[in-house]
Chain A
Amino acid sequence: MKPVLTCRDIKVDFDGFYALKGVNLNVFHEEVRFLIGPNGAGKTTLLDVICGKTRATNGQVIFEGSGQIDKMQEHKIASAGIARKFQAPSIFPKLTVFENLELSVKQKKSVWALLTAKLNSEVKAKIDYILEKINLQNERNREAGELAHGQKQWLEIGMQLIQEPNLLLLDEPIAGMSGVEREKTGYLIHDIAKECSVLVVEHDMDFVRNFSKQVTVMHEGAVLCEGSMAEVQENEQVVEVYLGRGKKVC
């Protein structure tokens, strides 16, 4: 099977500190891939490299249909079909929920196209569909900044979905959510995976256990191992990285 996304030997050098020391990663079609690892393992940096926020010092990112993307501008990477949800909810607070989604809809993104864009029934239907999926039908005309934290997270996920991406990057999607919200988000992520590949960075082990199929463990800027959660938990290195440290602290 051909991967959607291939990262080859990605290195990131922050003034002598290597945040990533040669990461190789494949993400396949309709896959939900969880990236886990202790703080400072380079998970978020890897997402930053994929979406163009941080430039890799070495290595290649190859995206199906677009070829090598690590030299492309951020907005071109996004147009190529990679959507990114940031850790802190990053939405447009003064625009309404509806407007947030309206701007995110997959469309021509030039100045002229937006000047002449019309809110036709097709766009409306798309927005309604997403609003239902993220459970914000009743908040559509509220300013996004007024939403509860969890709802903002959902809105941002919705803004990524409505772009109809091929690959969705989620950075700690359940941070700050309540138990019920977490579960809903977990099901939402699986729902999404029917239409695109998802790469999730997550800290919460219970959540990973419940909702992951494939897990990649990172440690100090490198991939430690890959496999199902059960396999990964058996891995001695992983146990050492997680528990070994834990013991010392205790």
Chain B
Amino acid sequence: MKNISRSSYALLFIFLLCAPLFLHDFRVALLAKFLCFAILAVGICLIWGYTGILSLGHGVFFGLGAYCVAMYLKLEASPTGIPDFMGWSGIVELPGLWKPFANPYFAISAAVIVPVLLALVLGYFTFKNRIRGVYFSLISQALVVVFVTLFIGKQEITGGTNGLTNFSTAFGISLTNRGVQQVLYFITVGFLLLTVAFALWLTKSRAGKLLMAIREGENRVRFLGYNPTSFKVFVYCVSAALAGVAGGLFVLQVGMISPEMMGIIPSIEMVLWVAVGGRYSIFGAVIGAILTNSAKSFFSESYPDFWLFFLGGLFILVVLVMPNGLVGLGKSVGEKITSRIKKKEKEDVQHEAGPYVS
């Protein structure tokens, strides 16, 4: 089993590294976007699959990470030092909130730190007060509504519904350059590799087992002398950090971020990627994000009128037929085949043993 999972990871990353050789630039750019989603999906897998906390608000962490990097890119693309949309709102001086984001290093670290801080505060208060299950999911949805409303309402600072776009350079290098896009692609693959390695290490550690134990029986964990609050806050922060990283990488490659991309529907979709791939498996989360998004773009290109139906159908199918996602399906098919082979071997042996009537 170990070898199978190891070789599937190896195959996946070999494929990702070679993809620019045989895929069109446009496809590579799409794939890069999906890989950002895959990083985020690993975070959701950790918190939902392993710890059993269903967060329907990861769009916010993704969005915050994206906005942090986008603010830097926007400032680089504004020759006057004030983003164009602010001018339309009559703002003549750069707001204090924006000032530190002129520094790329600040912006990049903020893309991780801001989501983590939000998760820390929100997680501490909800988990400490033992808000669990559906109630936590609802709060995480409310978080999305709050942030989307805030980002749209504060148009003069955030760019409103249009969000932030029209970037040109990062570190003085043009982002539209083909070579730069390829480098960014490989950086994303590298981040995904690091994310997967970290997630595997975490789940194999004793702390990872405790996360599963929280999923299985939080009270038992408590009466073993552990404080589940700190572990839940920890995993919430980890997944928020991964979502932030994903958002930052996303904005570098896609070139825009708007409140729509961090809203309720994307937040729920993120959970569905993980469900499709298999929520109990890191590998499942990665391929779930890549395959679901590939299917989405394939359907929307080929059947623009029907693609939402296809997508909906796919999700219903997964929920009804494959509760453990694609990975679970692969596993059960594999087990069936091996058990059938074993059974056959047994029968053959009995045959050879001669007429044996019981």
Residues of A within 8 A of B (CB): 51, 53, 73-76, 78-79, 83-84, 86, 90-95, 99, 102-104, 109-111, 114-117, 119, 159, 163
B213 at the interface (CB under 8 A from A): yes
The answer, among B207, B217, B219, B220, for a CB contact under 8 Å with A114, is B207
Closest chain B residue to A78 by CB distance? Answer: B225
Cβ contact within 8 Å between B212 and A95: yes
B26 at the interface (CB under 8 A from A): no
Query: Which of B64-72, B148-156, B226-234, B306-314 lies at the binding interface?
Result: B226-234
Supposing A102-B206, A111-B234, A114-B205 touch, asked if A92 and B225 sit within 8 A by C-beta, the answer is no
Known pairs A84-B223, A115-B207. 13 more at Cβ < 8 A? A74-B222, A74-B223, A75-B224, A83-B223, A86-B220, A90-B217, A95-B209, A99-B209, A102-B209, A103-B213, A103-B224, A109-B224, A114-B231
Summed over the interface, the residue pairs from A and B with CB atoms below 8 Å come to a total of: 76
B210 at the interface (CB under 8 A from A): yes
B335 at the interface (CB under 8 A from A): no
Residues of B within 8 A of A (CB): 202, 205-207, 209-210, 212-213, 215-217, 219-228, 230-231, 234
Alpha-carbon gap, A95 to B222, bound state (A): 17
Closest chain A residue to B232 by CB distance? Answer: A111
Residues of chain B within 8 A (CB-CB) of A76 are 225
Cβ contact within 8 Å between B212 and A110: no
Residues of chain A within 8 A (CB-CB) of B221 are 103
Closest chain B residue to A51 by CB distance? Answer: B223
Alpha-carbon gap, A163 to B210, bound state (A): 15
Rounded to whole Å, the gap between the CB of A163 and the closest CB of chain B is: 7
Supposing A90-B217, A92-B216, A117-B205 touch, asked if A103 and B210 sit within 8 A by C-beta, the answer is yes
Cβ contact within 8 Å between B224 and A95: no
Alpha-carbon gap, A116 to B204, bound state (A): 11
Alpha-carbon gap, A90 to B222, bound state (A): 12
Rounded to whole Å, the gap between the CB of A79 and the closest CB of chain B is: 4
Cβ contact within 8 Å between B223 and A78: yes
Rounded to whole Å, the gap between the CB of B52 and the closest CB of chain A is: 10
Supposing A102-B206, A111-B231, A115-B207 touch, asked if A75 and B222 sit within 8 A by C-beta, the answer is yes
Question: What are 11 A-B pairs at a CB distance below 8 A?
Answer: A53-B219, A75-B226, A84-B223, A90-B219, A93-B216, A95-B213, A111-B230, A114-B205, A114-B206, A115-B202, A116-B205
Rounded to whole Å, the gap between the CB of B71 and the closest CB of chain A is: 32
* Interface-central residue, B207, B213, B224, B228, by most chain A CB under 10 Å: B224
Residues of chain B within 8 A (CB-CB) of A79 are 225
Cβ contact within 8 Å between A94 and B206: no
